[in-house]
Chains A and B, each alone.
Chain A
Amino acid sequence: MITIKNVNKWYGKLQVLKDINVTVDKSEVVVIIGSSGSGKSTLLRCVNFLERPQKGRIHIDGKQIDPKGKNIHLIRQEVGMVFQHFNLFPHMTVLSNVIEGLTQVKKVSRAEAEEEGMALLEKVGLSDKATTYPAVISGGQKQRVAIARALAMHPKIMLFDEPTSALDPELVGGVLQVMKDLARDGMTMMVVTHEMGFAKEVADRVIYMDEGAIVEEGTPEEIFDNPKNERTQEFLGQIL
Chain B
Amino acid sequence: MPWDLSLILEYFPRFYSFALLTLQLTVMGILVGLILGLIFALLRISKFQGFSLPAKAYIWFVRGTPLLLQLWLIYYGLADIINIPRGPAAILALGIHNGAYIAEIFRGAILSIDRGQREAALSLGMTSWQAMKRIILPQAFKRSIPPLGNQFIIALKDTSLASTIGATELMMRTRQIGSSNFIMFELLMVAAIYYLIMTSILTFAVGKLEARLSISDHRV
**Which residue numbers of A lie inside 8 Å of B, CB to CB?**
48, 50, 73-74, 76-77, 79-81, 83, 85-91, 100-101, 104-106, 133-135, 142, 146, 149-150, 153
Contacts and interface: CB of A to CB of B under 8 A. Distances in A.
Specify which of A48, A76, A79, A86 lies most central, judged by the most chain B CB atoms within 10 Å of its CB. Answer: A76
B125 to A, nearest CB: 3
B120 A105 contact: no
Given A91-B216, A133-B216, A153 B120 contact: no
Interface of B: 114, 116-117, 119-127, 130, 134-135, 138-139, 142, 215-220
B interface majority secondary structure: helix
A134 B220 contact: yes
Contacts of B124: 76-77, 100-101, 104-105, 149-150, 153
Contacts of A91: 138-139, 142, 216
Given A77-B125, A104-B124, 19 more contacts: A50-B122, A50-B123, A73-B122, A73-B125, A73-B126, A77-B124, A81-B120, A83-B116, A87-B117, A88-B120, A90-B216, A90-B220, A91-B216, A101-B126, A104-B130, A104-B134, A134-B216, A135-B216, A149-B124
Contacts, number: 79
20 contacts: A50-B122, A73-B122, A77-B124, A81-B123, A83-B120, A85-B114, A85-B116, A87-B116, A87-B117, A89-B117, A89-B135, A91-B139, A100-B124, A104-B126, A105-B125, A134-B220, A135-B217, A135-B218, A149-B124, A150-B123
Nearest to A105: B125
A182 to B, nearest CB: 17
A90 to B, nearest CB: 4
B218 A90 contact: yes
A88 B139 CA distance: 12
Contacts of B218: 90, 135
A151 to B, nearest CB: 11
A144 B197 CA distance: 50
Contacts of A142: 220
B118 to A, nearest CB: 9
Contacts of B142: 91
A142 B120 CA distance: 13
Contact of B220 (A74, A79, A135, A150): A135
Contacts of A83: 116, 119-120
A76 B220 contact: no
Contacts of B126: 73, 101, 104-105
Contacts of B123: 48, 50, 76, 79-81, 150
A87 B123 CA distance: 11
A77 B122 CA distance: 9
Contacts of B119: 50, 81, 83, 87
Contact of B127 (A50, A73, A135): A73
A49 B83 CA distance: 54
Contacts of A73: 122, 125-127
B41 to A, nearest CB: 19
Contacts of B216: 90-91, 133-135
A135 B219 CA distance: 7
Given A83-B116, A87-B119, A74 B125 contact: yes
Contact of B125 (A89, A101, A134, A135): A101
A10 B117 CA distance: 24
A94 to B, nearest CB: 11
A72 to B, nearest CB: 9
Nearest to B127: A73
A70 to B, nearest CB: 10
A101 B131 CA distance: 11
A191 to B, nearest CB: 15
B125 A76 contact: yes
Nearest to B114: A87
Nearest 3 pairs between A and B by C-beta?
A: A77-B125, A101-B124, A135-B218
A229 to B, nearest CB: 32
Contacts of B135: 89
